[in-house]
Structure 1
């Protein structure tokens, strides 16, 4: 996967003020996004392919049945919290959906500085932590992929490879291997209808965080806010103001003083960043 130098967080005015004043990003419950299938889509795709392939494979059928039982009875998809970004710095769909119809801002973050500040390792193209990558097991950073239900893409092929190979070299059975991979990738897979977002995201696995609470007194505190889809839990990141490289003023938020006002505000909160104005004609 090609890694951009910067990613952009689109937000309204109140969120912009909060982020710059506090230095914190809100990592919110993935079940409270605008995608009704958030966190479930890759499981749906994986189950569809595994079920079809297991019709003529008794060994795979046994693994699939055990996997289904694991998700339904033992442990479902982990409790994921996300903060979303886009590769695009001036995107009409992003202005419309996430930045008060163009009246907000796009905050540009240096990718490496951001993930290091949060302690989120960068996943590779298989959504695994590459050798030597540092960070917390509870945090991760990667691009979103948009799973097409009609295509057996590389992630499904990688799942099949893990089912066949990993149990030979570990003490895990195939269904556990499959559950772990499906669960991890679920945090980064969305329906293809959202492909224009070109999304990257910080992900916090709150299930792992709860499991480690007994030995990790620095685990983040769950907070609550009013979201567009009801009461929404979230976590805060560490201070990320030094990761900000530029701010783009939305196309519906432009007047003669806009650039000067934003520059003055950034200076008041100690952030050195370029200020630009959207080139989009959207309003």
Structure 2
């Protein structure tokens, strides 16, 4: 049981080591830009209401296929049950940032089809609380700044 959990944790790390890039960018509409500047806050949004709301479901399905293909089924069943418990608690929230401040797809999707703003933040100075929210010690109630790597489905299969 312990070894099973360790194998899964090696495949699906809870928290990735952050790259040491200096500037990260947030694409947004002019209205959102003024709100961010005025309030000095970035807001988290429900992943179910982002431009690609199917991304979470695709990731879950792809992860299950990969785990069942590469690990013991009993081990994967236990992990999936734990994952299902966490997913049923509620929708994850996120604030999307980019390593590049000038990507056409980002301008189109997030910055009013090119009529918005790409705000650059110094990653070292961005005040991100990386830890427990409130008094809840449960890891699912954490806020972190993490890199996201998009997978090539052909590589996984």
TM surpasses 0.5: yes
Which residue of structure 1 lines up, in the alignment, with residue 130 of structure 2? 120
Tell me whether 1:82 sits opposite 2:104 in the alignment.
Answer: no
2:53 corresponds to = 36
Contact 1:45–1:147 (CA under 8 A) maintained in structure 2? no
The one of 49, 53, 59 aligned to 2:66: 49
1:5 is matched with which residue: 22, 43, 46?
Answer: 22
Structure showing greater relative contact order (alpha-carbon pairs closer than 8 Å, 6 or more residues apart): 2
Q: Which residue of 1 aligns with 2:43?
A: 26
1:126-165 equivalences under 5 Å are 138-152=142-156
Q: How many residues align?
A: 130
The structure that is strand-richer by fraction is: 1
Unpaired stretches in structure 2, ≥5 consecutive residues: 1-17, 132-140
Per-residue CA deviations over 1:26-56 (Å, capped at 9, x if unaligned) read 11111111113233333322210222235xx
In structure 1, runs of 5+ residues without a counterpart are 55-59, 122-136, 154-283
Aligned partner of residue 124 in structure 2, secondary structure:
helix
SS in 2 for 1:10: strand
TM-score by length of 1: 0.41
Q: CA deviation at 1:152?
A: 4.1
**SS state at 2:20 partner:** coil
What residue number does 2:7 align with? none
Aligned to 1:40, what secondary structure does the other structure show? helix
CA RMSD of aligned residues (A): 2.4
